Structure 1
């Protein structure tokens, strides 16, 4: 019985390597190590980071918020609160918000959809639904726009009060 199990396992393992071309000598074994010239420090393309040898676009739009954080203070249970963040495009070209995502489904952002001209203002309204929440909250909204860097983060916080017993 043990012999049959060993034979079945050997056949299965052998079948897994069937499509692999045989490697000849040590060159075949080490070939994978030479494919990547700097495997210890691979280059990762991140559009949010300007590299050392690349200068930022001087004409890029710039999203300047009057405030990047808002504290609601005490929030009643099972209520919705909202705050409008105002920003100015201090750059030299129109600013366009591509997307805004919240760190939680209880937080909903809405924003100016049309391009914001240089010197003009735009708005980002953030709504928080306290239903099912209790205690200290801190939520982030990540805004993706045609700015450098392309992600700007806003923060809302507060304290959802304990529901009163009836």
Structure 2
């Protein structure tokens, strides 16, 4: 009887490990977006490309930024194995000065929390005001 219980536990544990091996895995084309020098009021939207190199659907559960000046947008649908998705980031370019922000991605990946960076500088060009082209 003890042998039967031991075998049952071993088989059950083996099945659990086999099922647990399917995992989503994120691979970013780049983990840093460099805006460079951009003009005040210019388009602040950029995109992080993420590929699921795992063998289970990748679900981006949440994306948070280190301040209110950066608004991230996560993919709404799971990213299937081998497919690519986008995490959009919009920086408020009305704020003149250096850009050094972190965007944190929460997912079901083998690395469930991933920090991405944006950097650059917003410059105020003399002779321009808000609303001028």
TM-score when normalising by structure 1 = 0.61
Name 2:115's counterpart in structure 1.
Answer: 153
Q: Does 1:164 align with 2:126?
A: yes
Supply the distance in 2 between the matched residues of 1:160 and 1:147 (Cα, whole angstroms): 34
User: For 1:86-140, what per-residue CA distance to the aligned partner results, in whole angstroms no more than 9, with x for missing partners?
Assistant: 1110011000011000111111111211111111111111110122x22221111
Please list every run of at least 4 consecutive aligned residues from structure 1 whose deviation after the TM superposition is greater than 6 angstroms.
none
> In the alignment, what sits opposite 1:127?
90
The offset of 1:163, in angstroms, is 4.8
RMSD of aligned Cα (Å): 1.6
2:17 match: none
- The structure with more radius of gyration: 1
For residue 158 of structure 1, report the CA deviation from its aligned partner.
0.8
Q: Which runs of 5+ in 2 are unaligned?
A: 1-19, 129-133
The 3-state SS of whatever aligns with 2:115 is: strand
Displacement of 1:79? 3.4
Q: What are structure 1's unaligned runs of at least 5 residues?
A: 1-56
Aligned residues: 109
TM-score (norm 2): 0.75
